[in-house]
Structure 1
Amino acid sequence: MAYFGPVPPPIPWDSRFQWTQPRRPSQPAVAESISNLMFKNAVYYPNYRVYRGETPASMNYNCISHVFYAFAHLSPDGGIFLSDEWADAQMEVDGSRAGCLGSFTRLKRQHQHLQLIISIGGGGASQNFASVAASAATRDNFGRSAKGLVDASGFDGIDIDWEYPNDVEQGRNFLALLAAIRLHLPDDRYLLTAALPAGQWALQNIDLYKAQDYLDFINLMAYDFAGPWSPTSGHHAQLFPGSAGEPSGSTAVEYVISTGFRAQKILLGVPVYGRSFLGATGPGQAYSGTAGEDGTFEYKDLPRPGTEEIIDRRVVAAFCTGGDGGFVTYDNPETVKVKAGYCREKRLGGLFYWTGTANAPPGPRSLVSEGFKALHNA
């Protein structure tokens, strides 16, 4: 297991990255100018997708500015380790014998604007964040380990996916963790981002105004507003609320901005999957169960066969009804274009997508490419 603890052991696959250029403040002028002018259009790449044949090279980097590589995991002492060393650093991927990380470093050489960020944690592996963030010693270990991982992989920074600080004390510790990371990953050389829920119930635990001193941007997870945990069916990624009190992307953005957090540091999340409610034909209805994995369908499999795709323009959400999914709520190119326009209007930093590999092939159904074009008014 490759481990990036406080005093990392020799990393046997480190030499495979020696051909990559070290990260420096003065990057090539072309890459810098592109990065500075473009809205961010970022995707998450989960490492397990390589086993489905969806390798890093399968995505279209002409319209992707950042890739978040998901996930590295966190040990109780603050050390960071690869969650799947074979997929991450050993198997042959896209002609590289250094796994997905090796493939991505090659892609970075081919696309000079591309920035690569390793995401740490995730919904299923965040259990150690609270205890690590509570101790100065383990916070420092985390920062040292993060630097070891980033420098070994040739990536540009890290993403904190702690889901999530669940009280004010953990929110304070979250800020202390960011401060400790910045001691080892200074902001003139490395990116530091965080994925955060799009709900005031979670965001209120963090002093976002202070957090922006450490973060380059946040990925606001503006989805999963409804699902199998909900008493009735509902849109899971609507931009605007259908009624007072309903969660929505715009409500989350407005709350974050109200704290003094700069709009240009917010990336609005787009789900590249739909949520299913069997037995329902629209939001606000009783439903009988779920379909697919945890009631989800990948976007590239939507709309479902034999159904019609419909757009609710009032809340900005797409859906289809019937077939094997009942009421399935998701984003489509038209809703993503509206969300991109909202980003432009509110001067946000851009969009991100979970996940890039669930997207449709390049063309008019691609959420990532249509979002990129709409962000840049192309």
Structure 2
Amino acid sequence: MDCVSERSRISSSMASIMYTNAAYFPNHRVYEGHTPGMLNYGCINRVYYAHASVAQDGGVFLSDEWADARAPVDGVQGGLGSLMHLKQKHRHLQVILSIGGGTAAETFPIVAGNALYRDNFARSSLGLVEASGLDGIDIAWEHPNDAKQGQDLVALLAAIRIRLPEDRFILTAALPANQTILQFIDFRAAAAYLDYVNLMAYDFFGSWTSTSGHHAQLYAMNKDEPSGSSAVTYLMSHGFPAKKILLGIPTHGRSFLRAAGPGQHFRGCGGDGGVFEYGQLPRRGTRESVDKRHVAALCTGGDGGFVTYDNVETVQAKAGYCKQKGLAVSHHDRLEGPRFRGYAQAVTWFITDLVKGLFYSDAPADSKDKSRSLIAAGFCTLHTS
């Protein structure tokens, strides 16, 4: 998708409306040759650097000191160092430290359930944020498993806000877009502390489910299935403002072998642990199509069987949904840099209230083909009428 022709229209509209287009940058990506300097900051205004670790006493520390602070990255030391250098060049850029991830699932319940540990978490988070010049933190508990843990999450957010006041720091939480998990959290109370919820509207189906399904569907095939829209509706109906919701876009697909579509039994999964990066899709010898009713892309056959994912068309539809709902933005799980150069370079970012948007799960997994870039597609749709 070529956005160059849209530059003048985007630039003229920026003063009146602004959408957050955010992305996670996993620190392990520096070992694969991906760096923060490769990203196009004409399309992205917030980067979540993932992940810092948390100790059982609440102490927060860098998970990979070499990658984060010592390795040569973009001419400076470490991935965090690169982002801090880029912040000086791109004044609109916000850098958030994401704390936790999958490895912290056992630690967070211990920390959040103890008042002393909660305060230690808040204090050490503040220390890292101030030492690095960061704009805030993201809680990637992933996720409370019962009502007690849900209450503890809100208590942790309250403790953090004492040390990281809202007039100085951004506080977000990444949560699965599944009502079986969201039901444990008092979102009306959480809204008093959180700037955003990063709603991970993907991984609804995978190797762990009994049947295949669209893993990032915006609309469910039946009332018992999770979906992005049902999770958004749940949050809004439980007192969490739409303008504080970031809808997640996956930059990976899920594979189901010996299945030809959703709702079927399958035998194993292709790819790496059942996953193909978006840049590897559609698979060779297959034809890509879009389920418009449920807003999901797919390809069938080849070495992946039935593969479900997001593409440019579905991201455009999801960005349009965000604008209709008044959501804060989208976040992309994976960021790929060089392919975004040339997009919207003339745009001036206006730092106003950010009131609609998307996030992406891992930027380096996006397509190298400019016409298939998810991040560029989301940006252009969010900022054009």
For the criterion TM > 0.5, the same-fold answer is: yes
Q: Which stretch of structure 1 is more off in the superposition, 113-122 or 354-363? A: 354-363
Choose the corresponding residue for 2:367, options 360, 364, 367: 360
**What secondary structure, in the 3-state scheme, does the structure 2 residue paired with 1:267 have?**
strand
CA distance in 2, matches of 1:234, 1:343: 23
| 1:263 matched to 2:242 | yes
Partner in structure 2 of residue 51 of structure 1: 31
Q: Tell me: CA distance 1:136–1:34, structure 2 relative to 1, closer, same or farther (3 Å).
A: farther
Question: Aligned partner of 1:324: which letter?
Answer: D
Partner of 1:110: 89
Mapped contact 1:35–1:65 kept (Cα < 8 A): no
Aligned: 1:312 with 2:291: yes
Aligned match for 2:191, one of 198, 205, 212: 212
1:122 to 84, 101, 126: 101
Match of 1:15 in 2: none
How many Å apart are 1:112 and its aligned residue?
A: 1.0
Corresponding residue SS for 1:354: strand
**Shift of residue 364, structure 1, vs aligned partner:** 1.8
Deviation of the 1:244 alpha carbon:
2.5
- Aligned counterpart, 1:283: 262
Which stretch of structure 1 is more off in the superposition, 222-231 or 55-64? 55-64
RMSD across aligned positions (CA):
1.4
How many angstroms apart in 2 are the aligned matches of 1:325 and 1:253? 30
Letter in 2 for 1:186: P
* Residues 277, 328 of structure 1: 8 Å contact kept: yes
* Matches of 1:235 and 1:146, distance apart in 2: 37
- Cα contact 2:14–2:383 (8 A) shared by 1: no
Deviates more, 1:55-64 or 1:262-271: 55-64
Are 1:60 and 2:67 matched, yes or no? no
Shift of 1:34: 6.9
- Check the 8 A contact 1:336/1:367 in 2, yes or no: yes
CA distance in 2, matches of 1:357, 1:288: 29
Mean Cα displacement is larger for which, 73-82 or 353-362?
A: 353-362
Q: How far off is 1:170 after superposition?
A: 1.0
Question: Aligned equivalents of 1:260 and 1:79: distance in 2?
Answer: 31
TM-fit CA distance, 1:328: 0.4
Find the partner of 2:57 among 77, 80, 100.
77
Structure 1 residue aligned with 2:300 = 321
- Give the Å deviation of 1:182: 0.6
Distance (Å, rounded) in 2 between the aligned partners of 1:95 and 1:35: 34
Choose 300-309 or 34-43, whichever is displaced more: 34-43
Q: Which residue of 2 aligns with 1:372?
A: 379
Q: CA deviation at 1:356?
A: 1.1
Contact 1:119 1:160 (8 Å CA) reproduced: yes
Q: 5+ residue gaps in structure 2? A: 1-12, 331-358
Once residues 226 and 116 of structure 2 are traced to their aligned partners in structure 1, the CA distance between those partners, rounded to angstroms, is: 38
Normalised TM-score (structure 1)? 0.89
* 1:122-177 residue CA offsets vs partner (Å, 9 max, x unmatched): 02223211111111111110000000011111110000000111111111111111
Contact 2:289/2:298 (8 A) holds in 1: yes
**C-alpha distance in structure 2 between counterparts of 1:263 and 1:308, whole Å:** 36
Indicate the residue corresponding to 1:341 in structure 2: 320
Could you tell me how far apart the structure 1 residues matched to 2:264 and 2:301 are?
14
Helix, strand or coil for the counterpart of 1:321? strand
In the alignment, which of 196, 208, 215 is matched to residue 175 of structure 2? 196
Unmatched 5+ stretches in structure 1: 1-32
Mapped partners of 2:103, 2:173: distance in 1: 16
Counterpart Cα distance in 1 of 2:304 and 2:16: 42
State how 1:87-106 maps to structure 2 within 5 Å: 87-96=67-76, 98-106=77-85
Tell me which amino acid in the other structure corresponds to 2:363: G
**CA distance in 1: counterparts of 2:166 and 2:34, whole angstroms:** 32
Deviations 1:329-361 (A, max 9, x none): 000000000000000000000101111111123
Give the CA deviation at 1:362. Answer: 6.5
Count of matched residue pairs: 345
SS of the residue corresponding to residue 315 of structure 1 reads coil
Separation in 2, partners of 1:288, 1:355: 27
Q: Percent identity?
A: 59
Q: Partner letter of residue 18 of structure 2?
A: M
Deviation of 1:366 (Å): 0.5
Residues 256-302 of structure 1, C-alpha deviation per residue, up to 9 Å, x if partnerless? 10001100000001100000001111111121101122100000111
